[in-house]
Amino acid sequence: MDHIITLFFRSIFVDNMIFAFFLGMCSYLAVSKNVKTSIGLGLAVTFVLCVTVPVNYLLQTLVLGPDCLIKGVDLSYLAFILFIAVIASIVQLVEMVVERFSPALYGALGIFLPLIAVNCAIMGASLFMQQRIGLDPSSPQYIGSILDALVYALGSGIGWTLAIVSLGAIREKMAYSDVPKPLQGLGISFIVVGLMALAMMCFSGLKL
């Protein structure tokens, strides 16, 4: 139980997708123009993470790992293709559900919903999960069961949502500030994210 709580909070604050690993930057910068769409995308990413990471965990431990399918064969090199196929199909599913139940959100997210398929945060979480299976079980980052995988995905998704919503809020306020012309838009967003990342670094000594 301790391990799960530690894993959860670590993946929100310490191993934050955006501030520590820069995963999902493209859509992070493109969609965070206001709070409302930020929340929408954050929830979409969290949801897709919570589905794909456990599925990929099962795939990794039951099919791809050493000696799983055929004795003496390690299929891990197929991980990239299989993970991306799982992610692409689940994203397709989410897109259809959102289009059916929330046309407004679908309209707001527009092109970025299909882009979740190529959002590095989704693929990155699966790859980090694959890496963490091999860690020492006493490490706080260790993922040893499907529950761990789910908690890791949920924590990462919440961390990502937190990051995009706070950037969205800052950018809404920034519309009123006097930024040099060439720095407007993208340039200043990068610097803001950089400063936020510096601030988040204070969590890196977090002990739970």
Q: Cα-atom radius of gyration of the chain, to the nearest Å?
A: 18
Q: How far is the CB of 121 from another protein (least distance, A)?
A: 8
Residue 94 binds to another protein (criterion: CB under 8 A): no
With CB under 8 A as the contact rule, the residue among 8, 13, 19, 112 that binds another protein is: 19
Contact 105, 29 (CB under 8 A): no
Of 45, 48, 50, 79, which one interacts with another protein (CB under 8 A)?
A: 79
186 touches another protein by CB under 8 A: yes
What distance in Å separates the CA atoms of residue 149 and residue 132, rounded to the nearest whole number? 10
Of 81 and 175, the one with the shorter C-beta distance to another protein is 81
Q: Is 183 in the site for another protein (CB under 8 A)?
A: yes
Q: Which is nearer to another protein, 105 or 193 (CB)?
A: 193
Closest distance between another protein and the C-beta of residue 2, in Å? 26
* Among positions 58, 62, 80, 103, the unique one binding another protein when judged by CB under 8 A: 80
The secondary structure of residue 75, as a DSSP letter, is: -
**Which residue, chain included where needed, has tokens 């200043």?**
188
Site string for another protein, 116-135 (x = CB under 8 A): -xxxx-xxx--xx--x----
- The b/e string for 72-89 (b: 16+ C-beta within 10 A; e otherwise) is eeeeeeebeebbbebbbe
With H, G, I as helix, E, B as strand and everything else as coil, classify residue 38: helix
Return the structure tokens found at 60: 């990794």
Q: Do 192 and 170 touch, CB atoms closer than 8 A?
A: yes
Task: Considering the complex, state which of residue 80 and residue 97 has its C-beta at the smaller distance from another protein.
Answer: 80
Length of the chain: 208
Give the range of 7-15, 39-47, 54-62, 189-197 binding another protein by CB under 8 A: 189-197
Whole-angstrom Cα distance, residue 76 to residue 157?
25
Site of interaction with another protein (CB under 8 A): 19-26, 29-30, 77-81, 84-85, 88, 114-115, 117-120, 122-124, 127-128, 131, 180-183, 186-191, 193-195, 197-198, 201
